[in-house]
Structure 1
Amino acid sequence: MKHISILIPEGEIIQNTIISVIGAYKMFSVVNDYFAARGTKAAFKIELVGDSEEVKLNDGLFSIQPETNFREVKKTDLIIIPPVALNEQSLRANQVFTPWIVQQYNNGAEVASLCIGAFVLASTGLLDGKSCSTHWQAGDKFRSLFPNVKLTTDKVITEEQGIYTNGGAYSFLNLLLHLVEKYCGREIAIYCSKVGQIDIDRNCQSPFSIFMGQKDHIDEPVKQAQHYIENNVTETISVSELARRYGLSKRNFERRFKKATANTPIEYIQRARIEFVKKNLEAGSKNINDVMYEVGYSDRKAFRSAFKKITGMLPLEYRKRYNKDT
């Protein structure tokens, strides 16, 4: 029987914390119920662990009561870290768990973060040099705080050396299914997916992301260039012209742009154009080729390749999924 410790965070608790805690508890309980119905022993001992006797949110409307203080857990097999509020106070409050998480990992436990719980996991240092996913909206903040982690926000699940992370929101259910399959086999994972009506084997969150650009920086010329790009996606834009427009050499402009946005200017232009195309495919009735030409692509193969690289889907697939009139 594997011991699963679902961590109840400290500091400001968000609604997704409760959703993830309940979801994880329910998923592993479904597995236990499956075995119980067949007269076999449970696969998991599930325990809510924390530091406070009760954690509240929404002015006390909801609360979570850990069963055990985490310090009393001397050995566990899996630690689940749910989402936390993304502010300095909350992240600092959850550092109380760091020594315990690291010790358990060094003793053989696996660790899984759900959504922006990745910030707590990354704070332990265990993610340094490893791949990690989190909600696409939190990607820029994560990169600025944890530059030594290989962030891949296009993936729903990452797994490396006994450490697991997942993308945003309800995609944590896919990570839980992945863990069930690893511990109990494919048949049980499929059973849980059917009970929970969850699409199994979903591995990409790119179709759900919205490109908003990284503007949480103080480099004003770069910020102005970002706004110019986003407001002129149907125009021909060269990096040299952008640099001249904002009084910088091309080399200096490219360096500062990459540092501020985590994208090269060319990447940023491409992502802004694809975002424009996505919005047209979602809401408009334009022909795909017309939108392609509008943002400056003349080569269909290059356009399809760029679109799929960013969204994980071909333009026609994307339109069928998100445009209700198709």
Structure 2
Amino acid sequence: MTDRTRPIEVALLATPESTGSTLYGMVDVLSSVGRDWPLLTTGQAGESIIRPLILSRDLEPLPIANGGLVQPQQRLAEDYQPDVVCVLELFFDPFRGPQTDYSPEVEWLKGYWQRGGIIAAACTGAYLLGQGGLLDDQDATTHWAYCDLMARSFPSARVHPNRVLVTAGLGQRLIMAGGGTSWMDMALYLIARFFGVEEATRVAKVNLIDWHENGQQPYAMLSQTRQVEDARIAETQTWVAQHYNQRSPVATMVTMSGLSERSFKRRFKLATGLSPMEYVLTLRLEEAKHILETSDVAIDVVAEEVGYQDAAFFSRKFQQKVGITPAQYRRKFGGLRRLAGAST
């Protein structure tokens, strides 16, 4: 909890790879704190108790991702010490990493951290924390599609792909949210941290924000579709993408590769990061997710279509990997497809 006699100041770091929806979404949500609930329930607006502003290298209008343009309100300066700094989503290739030189931002963040600041990163913004060494020997999270890149780039960080929110560092002053709209979870956490759970609940009600209590797993693409450079392994990848529902697909892949079983499994794991059986499982579950989203067939039929005779075993594997049961997944994502189909 914090002193209510003044608004807290939350700086939102803007860069050329920032996305406008997260920057201005945070501006709108944080500006509503203390103001909108009284307006909607009594007709009299309250005072905003958080002051968000956009921070950048300088005060020049800044072109950002997707053709956006932002007007920064504060430049990076050694003596600038807001209550919180947020590093939001950066749009870059999950296989190559950011192509922008972020040295000025990273150095400023390191200095801000050393002066006792609180840093909250959403989605790929956590990459800048890693570049500054702030994630060394710390728990971390980011968008599910970028977790492999984070783990490779910052091997001493403990990256949690399923976690929507992670707090770490001295005094829990590092806050990281996963991908997509999990910046909203981060906003609610910050509101609760400074002004209490009741205030965060009011903001969630005003803005119809749902907490991602099941983590990122239900939203994640479980398998990477990128073909590997090892030609023999790539050939088996191509085959199993069409035949994952057959009996004993790994044995067929071994035969196709012309390698010994031990050599094949070692090279497959080296090339893809997964064992052959794990790879087959992810393909089967991705197809199961698609069937659940697009049809109303029974769960045991879904299991059989992706290669499992035992529906209970399939359901257990599905929940382990996806975080919710097949029936829960269908309710969560099938409704959107049905609605879209009805509207067309």
Please name the residue that 1:124 is paired with: 132
Deviation, 1:39, is: 10
Cα deviation 1:136-173 (Å, max 9, x = unaligned) = 33344444433433333322222222222222222211
Amino acid at match of 1:179: L
2:158 to 146, 150, 174: 150
Please name the residue that 2:29 is paired with: 27
1:84 to 75, 90, 93: 90
Given the two structures, how large is their TM-score scaled by the length of structure 1? 0.86
Cα distance change on mapping 1:145 and 1:218 into 2, 3 Å: farther
Cα distance change on mapping 1:251 and 1:126 into 2, 3 Å: farther
Please name the residue that 1:67 is paired with: 73
Cα deviation 1:98-147 (Å, max 9, x = unaligned) = 12211222222121111222222222221233333222333444444334
Separation of aligned partners in 1, 2:109 and 2:38: 31
Deviation, 1:225, is: 2.3
Please name the residue that 2:299 is paired with: 288
Deviation, 1:227, is: 2.2
Cα distance change on mapping 1:39 and 1:73 into 2, 3 Å: farther
Contact kept in structure 2, 1:54 and 1:64, CA below 8 Å: yes
Amino acid at match of 1:124: G
Contact kept in structure 1, 2:12 and 2:86, CA below 8 Å: yes
Please name the residue that 1:313 is paired with: 324
Contact kept in structure 2, 1:155 and 1:205, CA below 8 Å: yes
Identity %: 24
Contact kept in structure 2, 1:129 and 1:149, CA below 8 Å: yes
The answer to whether structure 1 residue 297 and structure 2 residue 308 are counterparts is yes
Matched position secondary structure for 1:323: helix
Contact kept in structure 1, 2:55 and 2:73, CA below 8 Å: yes
Amino acid at match of 1:71: A
The runs of 5 or more residues in structure 1 that have no matched partner are none
Amino acid at match of 1:100: W
Please name the residue that 1:244 is paired with: 255
Contact kept in structure 2, 1:229 and 1:237, CA below 8 Å: no
The runs of 5 or more residues in structure 2 that have no matched partner are 1-5, 340-344
Separation of aligned partners in 1, 2:65 and 2:46: 40
Contact kept in structure 2, 1:91 and 1:119, CA below 8 Å: no
Amino acid at match of 1:258: K
Cα distance change on mapping 1:39 and 1:287 into 2, 3 Å: closer
The answer to whether structure 1 residue 13 and structure 2 residue 20 are counterparts is no
Contact kept in structure 2, 1:133 and 1:151, CA below 8 Å: yes
The answer to whether structure 1 residue 273 and structure 2 residue 275 are counterparts is no
Amino acid at match of 2:112: Q
Given the two structures, how large is their TM-score scaled by the length of structure 2? 0.82
Number of positions where the alignment pairs a residue of Structure 1 with one of Structure 2? 321
Please name the residue that 1:189 is paired with: 200
Contact kept in structure 2, 1:6 and 1:49, CA below 8 Å: yes
RMSD: 2.9
Amino acid at match of 1:22: Y
Deviation, 1:240, is: 4.7
